[in-house]
Amino acid sequence: MTNVAEQLPLFYGWHPDDSEGCQGLKLLATDEHVVLSTELGRFRAPNLPTDLLPTDSVVRFRCSPAGSHRLVGAEELRCLGGGRWSHRPPVCQPLPTLEQLQKGDPKGGLIRTGWSG
pLDDT bucket at 105, cuts 50 / 70 / 90: low
Each residue of 23-52: pLDDT tens digit?
A: 888 888 878 899 999 988 999 888 888 889
Q: Quick check: 113 pLDDT over 60?
A: no
pLDDT bucket at 17, cuts 50 / 70 / 90: low
pLDDT-wise least confident of 14-18, 60-64, 80-84, 108-112:
108-112
Kindly report the pTM of this predicted structure: 0.68
Delimit the domains of the chain by residue range. 16-96
In which region does residue 30 sit, left (phi positive, over 0), alpha (psi from -120 to 50) or beta (all else)?
A: alpha
DSSP string, 66-112: BTTEEEES-SEEEEEETTEESSPPPEEEEPPPHHHHHHT-GGGS---
In 3D space, the residue among 66, 62, 84 whose CA is nearest the CA of residue 10 turns out to be: 84
* CATH architecture type of domain 16-96: Ribbon (2.10)
